[in-house]
A = this chain, B = another copy of it.
Amino acid sequence: MDRNAAGVVRIAMQGPGDVSGLVTLIESGALDPCTIVAILGKTEGNGGVNDFTREYATAALSAALAPRLNMPARQVEARIAFVMSGGTEGVLSPHITVFTRAPIPPRRASQAFGKHLSIGIAHSRAFLPEEIGRSTQILETAASVATAMADAGIAHAEDVHFVQVKCPLLTSERIKDASGRDKTTVTKSAYSSMGYSRGASALGVALALREIDGPVSDGDVLTNWDLYSNVASVSAGIELMNNVVIVMGNSASSASEFTINHSVMRDAIDMEGALRAFTAAGPAAEYCSSPIDRERLVNAFAKAGASPNGAIRGFRHTMLEDSDMNATRHARAAVGGLLAGLCGTGAIYVSGGAEHQGPAGGGPIAVIARA
């Protein structure tokens, strides 16, 4: 098998429709558009049901890449896995992270020892509205994780450090479609459906990586918080009806100049937990006495959520009772603040809605660094 090199580049965005940074990199020759396999973005919407910055950014990026890949924009969306996570609350800064995969260039042969960053992708079939948030979505996601691991050349679950999933949500239209066929959806609220879809997808990741023992039932979703994945990160979007799965890990078959590591925050203020992701990944070591090596840091990827029991270490939080500002916005802002303090930048990927992604109220954090 030929060795591949996964590449990663972070690009700032001036707005959800801004593709100038990507275009500049391509036109300068620094980035070959044919090697792009996935683009993870943070866009500046509310991250909720009516956050159109996600689909707008995807549309703008596809339109910009179409002539450069010599295919229509629709086909670009099928070829590249786009995951746009809405919400750059607080100090977070809108940006995309572009992941590439290419045969190993000879000049990098010396870097080829040990395990390095590798990336794989898979798509599930489209779901029916009534399947969202339930066991069908769980099982289909688990199957897609296995496919994506194979695609990445990663054989062992412990080498998987981050699994990004993009999943669908319910709208009035979709709920109507289901009830028209005498089917009941898991919830009648569009906003709530985002949580169910994220939760079921995360349980699918946990199942695939044997973080939990099956079987998992419909009733576990958003209820049994003891079941979770330490590496799943799921975003819901209105623009699709299937799950897209991106597996990131380290592989001996990769000649990438990057490595990835992860840890878990046990709650939203678990700075010590977050620090562990920086230690082994490369960019870090001891903090303060020997601060994080921010030069080598490429990006951090984390999930944030409001602890469902309404408290953090015994002190009540108000995220779940705020009818003006959704809990996901609260959580992204807070965890984003903590991680930006560690990373020295707000251009990091912090995504809301961490149901079954890490322990309840906590979440996974992965760090990619120059090896």
Contacts and interface: CB of A to CB of B under 8 A. Distances in A.
Interface in A264-280: 268-272, 274-275
Nearest to A189: B192
A326 B275 CA distance: 30
Contact of A50 (B44, B63, B333): B44
A318 interface: yes
A318 B93 CA distance: 7
A16 B320 contact: no
Interface in A346-369: 346-347
Interface residues of A, number: 85
Contact of A17 (B12, B56, B313, B341): B56
Given A288-B286, A341-B269, A346-B312, A93 B317 contact: yes
Contact of A337 (B192, B238, B338): B338
A50 B321 contact: yes
Contact of A93 (B90, B316, B342): B316
Contacts of A316: 12, 14, 93-94, 172
A92 B337 CA distance: 12
A171 to B, nearest CB: 6
Nearest to A15: B52
A172 B320 contact: yes
A176 B323 contact: no
A86 B45 CA distance: 14
Interface in A305-335: 308-313, 315-326, 329-331, 333-335
Contacts of A55: 15, 17, 56
Given A56-B56, A176-B310, 11 more contacts: A44-B50, A44-B322, A47-B323, A50-B322, A63-B63, A89-B325, A93-B318, A172-B320, A188-B308, A286-B289, A338-B341
Closest 7 CB pairs of A and B: A48-B323, A90-B334, A172-B310, A334-B337, A337-B337, A333-B333, A271-B341
Interface of A: 12, 14-17, 44-53, 55-56, 59-60, 63, 88-95, 171-173, 176, 188-192, 222, 238, 268-272, 274-275, 286-289, 291, 308-313, 315-326, 329-331, 333-338, 340-342, 344-347
15 contacts: A44-B52, A45-B52, A49-B323, A50-B322, A59-B59, A172-B309, A173-B310, A189-B320, A190-B321, A269-B344, A271-B341, A288-B288, A315-B346, A315-B347, A325-B329
